[in-house]
A = this chain, B = another copy of it.
Amino acid sequence: MTTVGELGEDRLVARLCEGLPLGTDVVVGTGDDCAVVGTGEVLTLLKTDAVVEGVHFLAGEKARRVGWKAVARVLSDFAAMGGVPGELLVTLAMGPRVALSWVEDLYRGMQDCLAKHGGVIVGGETTSLPEGASTLISVAGRGMVHREDLVTRSGGQVGDAIYVTGRLGGSLRGKHLDFTPRLAEARWLVRHHVITAMMDLSDGLAQDLPRLARMSGVGFELDHDTIPRNEAVEVAEALGDGEDYELLFTSADEIGEGWAARFPDLEVTRIGQLVGGSSDEIAGGWEHFRMGNRMFGPTSTSSA
Binding site for B on A (CB under 8 A): 1-7, 9, 12-13, 15-17, 20-23, 25-26, 29-32, 34-35, 37, 44, 46-50, 52, 54-55, 86-87, 89-91, 93-101, 103-104, 107, 111, 115, 120-134, 136, 138, 140-142, 288-289, 292-293, 299-300, 302, 304
Closest approach, in angstroms, between the C-beta of A33 and any C-beta of chain B?
Answer: 9
> Could you say which residues of chain B place their CB within 8 Å of the CB of A1?
99-101
Q: Which residues of B contact A5 (CB under 8 A)?
A: 95-98, 128
- Give the chain B neighbours of A100 by CB distance below 8 A: 1-4, 6-7, 12, 15
Q: Is the CB of B3 within 8 A of A87?
A: no
Collect the chain B residues with CB atoms within 8 Å of residue A4's CB.
94, 96-100, 103, 126
Question: What would be 24 A-B contacts, judged by CB atoms less than 8 Å apart?
Answer: A1-B100, A1-B101, A2-B100, A3-B99, A6-B100, A9-B128, A13-B125, A16-B107, A17-B121, A20-B111, A22-B120, A22-B122, A23-B86, A29-B123, A34-B123, A46-B122, A48-B90, A48-B91, A48-B123, A48-B125, A89-B140, A91-B138, A91-B140, A126-B288
Compute how far the CA of A93 lies from the CA of B96 in the bound complex, rounded to whole angstroms. Answer: 19
Known: A93-B136, A101-B2. A122 touches B44 (CB 8 A): no
Which residues does chain B contribute within 8 Å of A20, judged by CB atoms? 111, 120-122
Docked Cα-Cα span, A136 to B20, in Å, equals 21
User: B15, A104: Cβ atoms under 8 Å?
Assistant: yes
CB atoms of B136 and A304 under 8 A apart = no
Min distance, Cβ A57 to any Cβ of chain B, angstroms: 13
Find A103's partner among B12, B46, B89, B128 (CB 8 Å cutoff). Answer: B12
